[in-house]
Amino acid sequence: MSTTYSLISTFWKQNKSFLLFIFFMFVFRSSFADWNTVPTGSMKPTILEGDRILVNKMAYDLRVPFSHLSILNLNNPDHGDIVVFDSAYSDKRLVKRVIGIPGDTVKLVDNTLFINGRELTYQDLNIDEKTMDRTEDLLGIRYSIRTQLGGSRLSNFNAVTVPDGHYLVMGDNRDNSADSRIIGFVPRNEIVGKANRVVLSLNYDDYYLPRTDRFFKSL
């Protein structure tokens, strides 16, 4: 027993600085800021597969490290925010855009959103054989979305009201996103942070070469 303790003590003394650095790095990533890899195209054209996005974990809460327990509520997600959340429904971390906040009534008709009875405005950007990119104006927040020509089963849903403590989220790639139309409303306590920008990006279709034009790109 004393030999084991002696070995542990020696190891700690020799590596204390490094071990403390690792510990505080994980604390920082857990409670303050982190980066996440985006493996799917559900947020195209805003976020691409292979983007590494910076996540501000203090955007909404100060949390106990390595948990979802909020010590202090700093803010709440708002329309247009790109949020990162640990979905209990899908058992994975997801990145989506907030479309509806508590109390909002939202419906989708042929990929056109209505918020509290108000039809959002759109401007066409690019079109190809299968998809169209448009600018969507969500109550003054403007960003690009992608829709499939001819739509899909995700292009419509009847009016729903977002309950207290929940959010309606959608991917910018509207016809190719497993969002609130599939997983339901997102509970507030599942939201771990807000995505601010792309840190770096690797092109999965081109031998993982870096997309330097996307480095530090704001979202």
Q: What CA–CA distance (Å, rounded) separates 65 from 174?
A: 34
Residue indicated by tokens 């070995």 = 7
Q: Tokens at residue 209, please?
A: 């070469």
* Pick from 93, 79, 86, 88: nearest CA to 169: 79
Catalytic residue of the set 42, 177, 180, 201: 42
Task: Tell me whether residue 107 is one of the annotated catalytic residues.
Answer: no
Q: Please give the order of strands across the beta sheet that includes 118-119.
A: 118-119, 112-115, 105-109, 157-161
* Residue 96 annotated among the catalytic residues of the structure: yes
- Bridge-based pairing of strands 92-100 and 105-109 is unpaired
Beta-bridged to residue 81, according to DSSP, are none
CB 109 within 8 A of CB 120: no
Give the residue from 161, 46, 190, 175 showing the smallest Cα distance to 100: 161
Exactly one of 96, 177, 180, 201 is catalytic; which is it? 96
**Which residues are tagged catalytic?**
42, 96
